[in-house]
Amino acid sequence: MATTATKRTLRKRNPNKIRENGRVSSVVMYAIAILVLFITLYPMYYVLILSLSEPSAAATMKVYTVPKGFSLAAYETLVTDSEMWRAYFNTFLYVVPTTLLMLLTCVLAAYPLTYKNLRGRKYINMFLLIPMYFSGGMIPSFLLITKLGLYDNPWSQILPACYSIWNIILVKSFFGTIPETLREAAKIDGANVYQVLLKVYLPLSAPILAVIAVYTIVGMWNSWFNALVYLPHTDWQPLQLYLRRVLVESTETLTTTLDPDTAREMALRNLSNAQLKYAMIIFTTLPMLVVYPFFQKYFVKGVMLGSLKE
């Protein structure tokens, strides 16, 4: 009874206070969420409806809610563009091995550092921290790639990106949250160092590994500067560099890669270059939109690393 009376008194004293699960707080939170959702999704939706509109409407960019007309000519042109598919293949060629090597290097570098009796552990940690904040810059990196014979070679995109000190520290921090008693129990059962890693640590580390995989995949998919520096020929250039040429430099004409009949058909349709650019933006971002939901469950757990203790 006293508790009920106290709650009634507090409600009378603060009639306008925003309470947890209250109507006002719910309305405010939903309004903020909807606003953030709109700011995040509308630019992509705007590009999508421009790519699906008639070329004349897309050229004016006065399409805001729904496509004006309907045209898939831009997507038909992209599908028949052999150079774009080659750039697509090159991107996958860089993303897959880089992601696997990134996970491998992070695990193999972080796992030994979890042993407190490791000799030189303090100096190794210091050695990892210094280059994370200080680097030689682009010119020493370019000289190193050249001396190694990786210039104009696809390995120039994979090897420099297959490790990250920041990711190593993240994995080491996650390994540190795994109870030491699990390792001791595995040793009592006869497990060696490698078996402890494979059968104890890795199965429990799916969240942080998923986070690193997502970061690496997105980073490599969006990477273009290293390819611009180290890959002068277009045969091994990735998709983002090809998109940059189309959007920024306008040095690539998609119609030149088509056969005469298709080019004539495209001329009759009066397909604008702007609509091709919008369609290509959708085409290049679609794989990332498809991949992310599969990692979302682990991604949410991994990004909260260190924020809460159970």
pLDDT in tens, 188-201: 888 888 888 888 88
pTM, two decimals, is 0.73
What is the distance, to the nearest Å, from the Cα of residue 206 to the centroid of all Cα atoms in its chain? 17
pLDDT one-digit tens code per residue, 257-307: 455 555 555 444 445 566 777 888 888 888 877 777 776 666 665 555 544
Q: Where in the chain is the domain with CATH 1.10.3720.10?
A: 81-303
128 near 169, Cβ under 8 Å? yes
Contact 236, 90 (CB under 8 A): yes
- In this prediction, residue 70 carries a pLDDT of 81
- Cβ-count burial of 305 within 10 angstroms (0-12 exposed, 13-18 middle, 19+ buried)? middle
**Higher confidence at residue 32 or residue 12?**
32
Q: What is the pLDDT of residue 249?
A: 55
Q: What is the largest CA-CA distance in the chain?
A: 88
Q: How far apart are CA 201 and CA 306, in angstroms?
A: 17
| Higher pLDDT among residues 220 and 61, named by residue | 220
Mean pLDDT of 186-213: 87
Higher pLDDT, 64 or 1: 64
pLDDT tens digits along 54-107: 777 777 777 888 888 887 877 887 788 788 888 889 999 999 999 999 999 999
CA atoms of 262 and 254, how far apart (whole Å):
11
Give pLDDT, residue 41.
87
CA distance readout (Å), 192 to 137, 181, 187, 203 = 41, 15, 6, 16
Of the pLDDT bands very low, low, confident and very high (cuts 50, 70, 90), residue 14 is: low
pLDDT value at residue 268: 45
263 touches 255 (CB < 8 A): yes
Separation CA 64–CA 278 (nearest Å)? 14
Domain 81-303, what architecture?
Answer: Orthogonal Bundle (1.10)
